Amino acid sequence: MDILIKNAPALLPEGLSGGPADICISGERILSVGSVPKDFIPEQVIDASGMLAVPGLVNAHTHAYMTLFRNCADDLAFNDWLFGRILPLEDLLTAEDCYWGTLLGCMEMLSTGTASFLDMYIFCGSAARAVSDCGMRAVLSRGLTDSAGEDPAGGKRRLTDALDEMREWGNVPGLSFMLAPHAPYTCSERYQREIAELSHDTGVPVNLHLAESDAETATILEKHGCTPTELFDRTGLLSDTTVAAHCVKLSDGDIDILARRGVSVATNPVSNLKLANGVARIPELLGRGVNVALGTDGAASNNTLNMFRELAFLGLLRKGLDADPTAVTAAQCLSAATAGGAAALGLDSGAIAPGKLADITLIDLDRINLFPRNNLLSSLVYSANGSEVSTVIVSGKILYDHGEFTTIDRERVLYEVNAVCRRIGTINE
Amino acid sequence: MDILIKNAPALLPEGLSGGPADICISGERILSVGSVPKDFIPEQVIDASGMLAVPGLVNAHTHAYMTLFRNCADDLAFNDWLFGRILPLEDLLTAEDCYWGTLLGCMEMLSTGTASFLDMYIFCGSAARAVSDCGMRAVLSRGLTDSAGEDPAGGKRRLTDALDEMREWGNVPGLSFMLAPHAPYTCSERYQREIAELSHDTGVPVNLHLAESDAETATILEKHGCTPTELFDRTGLLSDTTVAAHCVKLSDGDIDILARRGVSVATNPVSNLKLANGVARIPELLGRGVNVALGTDGAASNNTLNMFRELAFLGLLRKGLDADPTAVTAAQCLSAATAGGAAALGLDSGAIAPGKLADITLIDLDRINLFPRNNLLSSLVYSANGSEVSTVIVSGKILYDHGEFTTIDRERVLYEVNAVCRRIGTINE
């Protein structure tokens, strides 16, 4: 559909537009920004007076199905969280459960301005079906482990499933795929090399967890005599199409490696706090030219998939810890949540510019917390809470329209999610 | 007015009610919780189906007038922030400007569930008038300085103004007052002693900034040979009615003093990050039995007066920094924002219990980010963003009703604030 968005200022690659910047969308792409081509006849005109147009946000690391587990394992020591709570619950899930959980995650992401995300999951097909049903853009990756070499058959099966899924869903618009060696401590060196070679041969990028905790660093040092980053580098998993989530525990040498290989880092500030892992070295990564993207992680280790909350944490944490109020700026945060995320995910989106995929979020500026309008850009990072999102357009289609989902049956999803949670026992009422 | 709130579960002092807990309000106080007395005839019945009743939140440290400065000084080094931007702007303000700025702050606080707050300001009467006009509950305090002894006449004048204000406004329902020696580095020792004696003689409590930055610690050590906490202790300012904001840079000995004197700490996690001061030692303070309250600080050093964002930061920061996911729990956070805040401010509110002042916030649970309802209490701290607040009752009066202000002319306030910001030059459009 051809759409004209009128009367809204826009967050452009060069900064905020001075006044309203009319945006023409033709099909799935942005046709023009600023002026309307003479022969452009929109089928729909959106009067976005009082709103701000920003690129649809990119959530560069999540596990959407885990939205099922929101708030069911908080304030727990890591082992109690993972082994006592999350893994036993995960064992109870079916592919159908994960479909509904993913849709709940999609609803939350859309309602807070996210247009696309990078997902890692356990059931092939569930996320693909959910994303394709709701029309979001996603990069999908089945988490791959061989239980650190203890379960080579399982590792093989998971990889085969992932490849089958790519063949089955690879041509669906809006979907793309990555290979996801889960983590340095869950994949044997042999398995890592196998995936790296496959990625190299097929051109399918890599998505992985890296340097999340001190325990991981200690385990890898003991077993492999190097840092997790060095291990992944030597098995060939780090390249300029690789997205590495977390990256909290990085040495200077590790940062060198990431910079040299052109790896994108998907930082998850809230998750890293909640699971007691610390705060990533964002200023150092940015200073070395590493592409930094922003992700929420799953709801089990964050409790919301709201990128606006993530933006605030990204902007504030290193200021306080480095005694430097300029450590990470609002512009750097917004870049991580838009262009940086798109670059990480290999998407031709993340910017309001002619030719780009038409992923656009409209923000209602008529909010007390955005007033007075002393600095709109700053207010997006430090004052907004995500509830200001009015409309989300993905690939030129309006998926969230003044608070209503156009492709998702909200009540049905809530009903099904509730049924899952009763069955697995996280809700007892 | 007598009100019956029906069909909502409630956050009670002992935890969440199992099912709906009917709340009867008679005049300005809560009459009963759980069952409705036979002879109670409400003038208004609120059907709060699908909502959760929580105590109206207590913002234990803010400068509401500074909402005028939201987003006008971000990502700046401290000296550029304070001396280059905030203080010159403050010089341009009139008492009338601060009235409108305070009302904007009140609107933001009400719309995010806050019923009462402790305010420190520069113009006597402005906050009192705003709070009395809108019906919130506030503890007011004119910031007192003698410019570290350089301006004894100014110090005297400010103190006289503050005392005059208390006489003028002291009997207005919902208002109470504190004496506010601004900070260890802006008040001479002599001035501190004078205020401490006045507080002792009159019974008016003390509100102050303490141990906010390393620079403060260094200045006080050089000038007085002790820590800021030791200085305030020796000038008599620390007692069980004192509220000390910030308290980031505390030694073990300082914590001993605060615990021994029964001082309440109003922690401001976001402000402390934004101004690059670090993270308060909340687990240690709680461990020593110190009453911890929660505040947003002003919008110039936070960018929002939303207590829900503050709750998330309070809950998450020390987990990540102490490598302890149990460092500060959701229940401890909620207590700081309710009962802890009320205790700090000397208010008979902060709990949904018979006899307490009827300050109640209703939260709309029909939100995607609060779903599934695996743990409601946890979701308030880790998933909510403040936009879920539907209704706020203060002293038995409904001030915020399904998103509408009943006592504030929203458009008028926005208009006046905009005019102020254009005049002082923070908005150039």
Has residue A398 got a pLDDT over 70? yes
What does the pLDDT average to over A367-374?
96
CA angle A176, A177, A183 (to 5 degrees): 150
pLDDT tens column, B103-162: 999 999 999 999 999 999 999 999 999 999 999 999 999 999 999 999 999 999 999 999
pLDDT at A317 over 80: yes
pLDDT band at B276 (very low <50, low <70, confident <90, very high): very high
- A–B CB contacts, 8 A cutoff, strictly below: 219
* Residues sharing a CB contact under 8 Å with residue B316, sequence separation 6 or more, in sequence order: A270, A273, A274, A313, B382
Q: What is the DSSP string of B252-296?
A: HHHHHHHHHHTPEEEE-HHHHHHTT-----HHHHHHTT-EEEE--
A273:B320 CB<8 A: yes
- Chain A residue nearest residue B272, CA to CA: A320
Contact of A304 with chain B, judged by CB distance below 8 Å, is answered with yes
**Which residue of A lies nearest to B404 if distances are taken between CA atoms?**
A368
User: Which of B93, B310, B369, B385 is the best mutation test for A, with the most CBs of A within 10 A?
Assistant: B369
**What pLDDT was estimated at residue A428?**
74
Q: How far apart are CA B143 and CA B129, in angstroms?
A: 17
Q: Check B312 against A309: CB less than 8 A apart.
A: yes
| Residue A361 pLDDT > 90 | yes
**Cα-based angle B421, B419, B106 (whole degrees, multiple of 5):** 75
A368 CA: distance to closest CA in chain B (Å): 6
Interval B140-152: pLDDT, tens: 999 999 999 999 9
Contact check, Cβ <8 Å, B69/A374: yes
Q: Is A281 on the interface with B (CB under 8 A)?
A: no
Q: Which of B388, B383, B307 is nearest to A105 (CA)?
A: B383
d(CA A116, CA A338): 10
Confidence of residue B286 (pLDDT cuts 50, 70, 90): very high
Band of pLDDT at residue B429, cut at 50, 70 and 90: low
pLDDT band at B70 (very low <50, low <70, confident <90, very high): very high
Would you list the DSSP string of B362-417? EEE---GGG-S-S-HHHHHHHT--STTEEEEEETTEEEEETTEESSS-HHHHHHHH
Model confidence band, residue A82 (pLDDT cutoffs 50, 70, 90): confident
A14 and chain B: CB distance < 8 Å anywhere? no
Q: What is the mean pLDDT of residues A382-387?
A: 98
| pLDDT mean over B379-402 | 98
pLDDT score for B380: 98
Nearest-angstrom CA–CA distance, B285 and B146: 30
Interface probe with A: pick from B303, B388, B413, most Cβ of A within 10 Å: B303
Q: What is the pLDDT of residue B335?
A: 98
Neighbours of B107 (CB within 10 A): 26
- Binary contact (A273, B317; C-beta < 8 A): yes
Assess contact for B217 and B210: CB atoms under 8 A.
no
Q: Which amino acid is at A169?
A: W
Give me the pLDDT at residue B275, please: 95
Does any CB of chain A come closer than 8 Å to the CB of residue B16?
A: no
Contact between A71 and B279 using a beta-carbon 8 Å cutoff: no
Asked if pLDDT for residue B175 goes beyond 90, the answer is yes
Q: Identify all chain B residues contacting A374, using CB atoms and an 8 Å cutoff.
A: 69-72, 421, 426-427
Q: How far apart are CA A368 and CA B211, in angstroms?
A: 31
Q: Is residue A414 less than 8 Å (CB to CB) from chain B?
A: yes
- What is the band of A1 on the pLDDT scale with cuts at 50, 70, 90? confident
- Using CA atoms, how far apart are residues B241 and B204, in angstroms rounded to an integer? 9
Q: Of A28-42, A74-88, B41-55, where does mean pLDDT reach its minimum?
A: A74-88
A78 contacts in B (CB within 8 Å)? 325
Average pLDDT over chain B, rounded to an integer: 97
Of all residues in chain B, the one with the smallest CA distance to A377 is B71
Q: Which of B275, B320, B386 sits opposite A385 (nearest CB)?
A: B386
- Is the confidence metric ipTM above 0.90 for this complex? yes
Distances (CA, A) of B180 to A299, B168, B190, B346: 42, 18, 15, 15
Band of residue B336 on the pLDDT scale cut at 50, 70, 90:
very high
Say what the pLDDT of residue A18 is. Answer: 85
pLDDT of B382 above 90: yes
Closest CA to A247 of A282, A196, A274: A282
Domain boundaries of chain B, sorted by first residue: 3-55+350-405, 57-345
- B324 closest CB neighbour out of A81, A276, A385: A276
CATH class of B3-55+350-405: mainly beta
Q: Return the closest-CA partner of residue B391 out of B349, B366, B362.
A: B362
- Shortest Cα distance from A304 to chain B (angstroms)? 5
Position A9 pLDDT exceeds 80: yes
User: To probe the interface with B, which of A369, A390, A405 has the most B CB atoms within 10 Å?
Assistant: A369
pLDDT over 80 at A429, yes or no:
no
Superfamily of domain B57-345: Metal-dependent hydrolases (3.20.20.140)
Residue in B104, B325, B379 closest to A75 by CB: B325
Q: What is the arithmetic mean of pLDDT over B407-418?
A: 98
Residues 109-168 of B with CB under 8 A from A: 111-112
Q: Does B41 touch chain A (CB under 8 A)?
A: no
The angle formed by the CA atoms of residues B19, B25 and B28, to the nearest 5 degrees, is 140
Q: B123: number of CA atoms within 13 Å, CB side?
A: 22
Partners of residue A378 in chain B, C-beta under 8 Å? 71, 74-75, 303
- Cα separations (Å) of A95 from A106, A125, A127, A177? 16, 8, 9, 18
| pLDDT (mean) for A376-405 | 97
Spatial distance between the Cα atoms of A156 and A144, rounded to a whole number of angstroms: 9
Other CB atoms within 10 Å distance of the CB of residue A94: 13
Q: Token pair of B47, please?
A: 């059907």
Which residues in chain B touch residue A278, judged by CB atoms under 8 angstroms apart? 320-321, 323
Query: What is the pLDDT at residue B428?
Result: 74
* Percentage of chain A exceeding pLDDT 70: 100
Mean pLDDT of chain A: 97
How close A413 comes to chain B (CA, Å)? 10
How much is the pLDDT for A34?
A: 93
- Are B77 and A272 a contacting pair at CB < 8 A? no
Q: Which of B367, B368, B366, B360 has the alpha carbon at shortest distance from B400?
A: B360
Q: Which residue of B has its CA nearest to A410?
A: B368
The CATH number that domain A3-55+351-405 falls under is 2.30.40.10
Does residue A246 sit at the B interface (CB-CB below 8 Å)? Answer: no
* CA distance linking residue B326 with residue A197, whole number of Å: 41
Query: Is the Cβ of B277 closer than 8 Å to some Cβ of chain A?
Result: yes
